[in-house]
Every structure is written in structure tokens, then in C-alpha cells.
Structure 1
Amino acid sequence: MEINDASHRIIGELLTQRTGQQLTEGRRWRVSSALSGLFRELGIENVDQLACMLERPGEQRLATKVVESLLNNETYFFRDQAYFSQLSNHVLPDLARSRAESKRLSIWSAGCSTGQEALSLAMIFAEQSPRWKNWTIEILGTDVSGKAVETARSGLYTQFEIQRGISVAQMLNFFADCGGQWQASDKIRSMTRFQQHNILDCPPSPGRFDLVMCRNVLLYFDPATRSAAFDRVATGIASDGWLMLGAGETVVGQTERFRPANCGSSLYRPVHVDLSMAQPSLRAAMR
């Protein structure tokens, strides 16, 4: 094995250990460019030198920086507009009916990156305020990247980020110019909160979400890890809740915990599991 291959293996194992993601052959080409800023910070030139540094004891902070650099935080407001149309036309009306008595909704944006997806959902609720009057709407955004979560919590976006996906009217209605950046308003931020979380860990509180959006996250996992992630999501979703995946992602052939919904190729519903009949490994995973 060439030194470069060994270096990529070291970095790939680190990424998998921390996030569950695989550094596949298709992703290796972008490793050097993704780490270029870290190279400059450390005064090194290549992956081989970085791998040597990672092998030294006590380099946990460096390991965290490497993983953060490798994560794909690409996102924007109302990414894939058709998906948000499905939410508005099918999912939210269903939840409005089924939760009419409690008037409470809990939504989990898993793999939220820098928060645009969660804030896009909040904008939908704000624009439909008559329907949701006197409702309690809680949108939790989680991501394995601490840096991305910090940005999401700040609600601050650059001019470039703010122009991706939202109209001028939405920009003026839900954001304020803040010295060259744009600050999300309290109107939408009050519905959201963000925390660092790995989807392979136990679901975050409240633990029984009415809607889970997990788009473009599972495609980075191998089949076994993807199945484990579905198990985790299944334990955190209401029995009559909704799961939305991204383009190129499906439950078919991947898990028995969800089934396709009868509307929209990206929407799925939980399948009831009788824990008394489940395998011990499954019962353990659901704790």
C-alpha cells in the first residue's frame, strides 16, 4: 500500500468512527481540497503529513477539525422546493387534523447543517399563521458538525446564503440586515432550536417526533450503518408520524421499520414493531 493510500485510510477511519460516514472512492478526490484550509493553518502541504500528525497521542482537537472539514454542509433555504410543496400539500394538513386536540407539533430536522432547512419549515408555519394559531410548534435541528450547529444557532447568514432559495419578500419579512449579514427574525427563530447530535445515537428529546426530515444524510452510510440509522429514527418518531428522505434515498430494501407513503416518493410512514417478538439486538438498539 502506498503511503497516500494509508493516509486516506487513516482519515477515512477517523471519519467513520466519528460520524458513521464512509470515505468512499467517489469522495476521495475532494479530500485534499476540503482540507486545504487546515493545511494552511498547520503549515503542512498534504494528506500524508496530516495523517502523521493524527497518529500522535493527544490530537483529539486536530481530529475534530479534520472531521469538520470533511463533512458536506451544503444546504440552502427551501432546498428542492418540490419537497416543501409535499409537506405543505400532504404532511402538514394531515398533522393539522391528527394533532388538532393537542395543538402541538414536534419536528426533527436530522442533519440540519447550518439551519436553513429548519428555518424554511418555520417560514412555512409563519406564512400559514391562521391555520396554526394557538399551536405550539417545535422544530429541532441536529447535526454531527458542531461548527454547523453554531451557525444555525446564530441565525446569521451571508448575502450569498440568504439569496439561495427565498424570495425578496421572504427575505424582508423574516430577516434583518445586520452589518452585511442577515439575521433570522424572532418570528421564525422562536420555533427552532439546534443541538449537536449523531443520528446513530439515541434520538434527541422529545423522542416522539411527528415529522422527521432526514435528507441527504443516509447516502453517506454503508448498508449496515444505514439500517442502524433507520432503527434509531424509528424509535424517535410517532407511530403515525412522517419521515422525509432526500433524492436518491429510500427505505425500500434498506429497512423494515418504514414503508412508502401513498403520496410523494420521498415520504414514508413507520411500521409498527412488536418488541416482544423482536430480536434481542433490535430491542437493544431501541433502548
Structure 2
Amino acid sequence: MAMTATDFDFLRTVVSRNSGNQIDPSRDYLFESRLGGLLRAQGLTALDQLVAALKLEPDARLQRSVAEAMTINETSFFRDNSPFELLRTALLPALIERRRHIRSLRFWSAASSTGQEAWSLAMLLREHFPDLASWRIEILGTDLSAEMVERARAARYQRLEVNRGLPARFLLKYMVRIDDEWEVAPALRPLCRFEQRNLCRLPVLLDTFDGIFLRNVMLYFSAETRRHVLLEMHRALSPDGFLVLGSSEQPGMPQHWLPVLTEKTCYYRPLPAAG
């Protein structure tokens, strides 16, 4: 049987409830292209069979698998380099001075996909701030998809992936070639850890961070989901910490976030909670 408009509505609801992502009806074709692997894993041959299975016996694990498969995982090393330059030249030097008494820094890559953002930050810290070698540094990467989290932990990338944004000197210094792939060097591994987390299930974490990276993910959320996620970010951020969003994203919520404009990019400081 062919998929009906009602069937696609059902799948969009499954995705939204389990990930917060909103799939526009004009992009229903993505279900066909992205759920093929899940269909084969379930022994199914057509998308309408998956819909029927989900309706017949609601399976929370299968619903999460559908949502994970529909998540956009576009990323690269040092993606949109301006935020990393801002970190190197301004945000990190000032933050390091404020943390000298505790010699500890914590960062959260909140939609880390296959891990390039977190590993890019680790490389930046090691390359430009060698004095931090004796500090406690933690970079936490979280993602909705268990598969993406496992890839981030493995930290092994194809040539095409390292050619997208990773400077040649960093490739040689912080990566190890294994056959036709490149793997993050052992010396860098202790800085990053990765966990599966759903940003729409609050609270996501009970920790506090000095910097949070939530880039290029909110544009797929509804307004209500964006508000909930940003309130969670506000709770999880140190009072003098910073939030980095994607170049086309803004948090709104002026009672919670102060935008700080720089020459090439923008970041956000948390404002004290009312009351």
C-alpha cells in the first residue's frame, strides 16, 4: 500500500514527540530515504508497514529509533570557524583567568552528532592553551542518537570528514592514521566524553558548565520546545558562562539571555533569573 497523508502525519508526530524535531510536510520524502536502514533491520519492505506496526503495537524503542533516524547529523571539524576564533582570542582567555583558583573548565556540546565539535574544542584547548595541561578539563558531548554517540566515542573519521575544516597541522598533531581513516590521538581522548541525551527530556543534566554549544539544532524545534531547551541551557550554565548558537539562530527570551555582538559572530550571556 502507498503512504497516505495521514500516515506521514503519524510519522511526523512520532518524531516530534520523541525528539522535538519538526518535519515539514514538504520534506516527507526524507522518511523514505532515512528510514530504509530501520526498515531492513525490522524485516520490513515498505514504509507503510512500519506505520502499521507502530499503530498496531506502540513500541517506545521503535519510536525512538524512528526519531533518531530522522535527526539531521550535519557537522564538521571547526564548523563555521568564527565561534572558535572568538573562543581562542577572547572567551577562553577571560574564562581561564576567572577559573585559575579552581583550575577546572567544563563545556557541553549539546547536539554533538559524530563528535567533531567536541574534538575541535579539545584540539583548540591543547594547541593554544598548553598551560591547561594540569587543569581538570571536561568536554561533554550529547546527542539523541545512540549510533552518533558511539561514533563520537570511537573518534574515527574518514578522509572526507577530516578534510572538511580540520587544519593540516592539527591532522598531523592530534590524529592517528589507521588504514584509510583517521582516529583522534590517545593524548586527546581524556578531554571528551559522550552520552546519549534527549534535549526535550528535562532536566537533561544536573551539571553546571562554563560554556554550552547548541548550534544548528533549534531551527528544527517548535517554539515551545525551543523555550524549554533554552531554559534548560540557562539552568545548566554558570552565571559567568557563555552560550553559542548557530549563526542563524537567536534565543529570544530577552529576560534570560544577553546577546553579545562581536565583529564576526554573536554569543549569549545568561541573565540572573527573576525573583
TM-score calculated relative to the size of structure 2: 0.91
Q: How far 1:216 sits from its partner (Å)?
A: 0.9
- Secondary structure (helix, strand or coil) at the match of 1:100 reads coil
Partner residue, 2:255: 256
2:19/2:68 contact within 8 Å kept: no
Work out the CA distance in 2 between the residues paired with 1:250 and 1:239: 19
Partner residue, 2:135: 135
Equivalent runs, 1:211-226 vs 2, <5 Å: 211-226=211-226
User: C-alpha deviations, 1:227-269, integer Å up to 9, x for none?
Assistant: 11111111100011000000211023x4632110243543000
Aligned alpha-carbon RMSD (Å)? 2.0
Partner residue, 2:203: 202
Q: How far 1:24 sits from its partner (Å)?
A: 1.9
1:199/1:233 contact within 8 Å kept: no
User: C-alpha deviations, 1:130-171, integer Å up to 9, x for none?
Assistant: 342422211000111111001111111122222221122211
- Secondary structure (helix, strand or coil) at the match of 1:64 reads helix
Partner residue, 2:35: 35
1:4/1:47 contact within 8 Å kept: no
Work out the CA distance in 2 between the residues paired with 1:32 and 1:232: 33
Partner residue, 1:87: 87
Partner residue, 1:230: 230
Work out the CA distance in 1 between the residues paired with 2:34 and 2:44: 14
Q: How far 1:58 sits from its partner (Å)?
A: 5.5
Partner residue, 2:108: 108
Partner residue, 1:284: none
Distance verdict in 2 for CA 1:255–1:219, change over 3 Å = farther
Q: How far 1:129 sits from its partner (Å)?
A: 3.7
Q: Which amino acid aligns with 1:168?
A: A
Q: Which amino acid aligns with 1:80?
A: D
Work out the CA distance in 2 between the residues paired with 1:273 and 1:219: 25
Distance verdict in 2 for CA 1:3–1:29, change over 3 Å = closer
Q: How far 1:77 sits from its partner (Å)?
A: 0.6
Partner residue, 1:55: 55
Q: How far 1:43 sits from its partner (Å)?
A: 5.5
**Is 1:189 matched up with 2:183?**
no
Q: How far 1:188 sits from its partner (Å)?
A: 1.8
Q: How far 1:117 sits from its partner (Å)?
A: 0.2
Q: How far 1:68 sits from its partner (Å)?
A: 2.1
Work out the CA distance in 1 between the residues paired with 2:83 and 2:175: 23
- Secondary structure (helix, strand or coil) at the match of 1:132 reads helix
Partner residue, 1:161: 161
Equivalent runs, 1:14-29 vs 2, <5 Å: 14-29=14-29
Work out the CA distance in 2 between the residues paired with 1:27 and 1:98: 46
1:109/1:213 contact within 8 Å kept: yes
1:126/1:187 contact within 8 Å kept: no
- Secondary structure (helix, strand or coil) at the match of 1:21 reads coil
Aligned positions, number: 272
Percent of aligned positions that are identical: 33
Partner residue, 2:122: 122
2:3/2:47 contact within 8 Å kept: no
Distance verdict in 2 for CA 1:114–1:273, change over 3 Å = same
Q: How far 1:219 sits from its partner (Å)?
A: 1.0
Work out the CA distance in 2 between the residues paired with 1:27 and 1:228: 25
Partner residue, 1:150: 150
Q: Which runs of 5+ in 1 are unaligned?
A: 278-287
Distance verdict in 2 for CA 1:34–1:233, change over 3 Å = same
1:14/1:63 contact within 8 Å kept: yes
Work out the CA distance in 2 between the residues paired with 1:178 and 1:169: 17
Q: Which runs of 5+ in 2 are unaligned?
A: none
Work out the CA distance in 2 between the residues paired with 1:169 and 1:26: 43
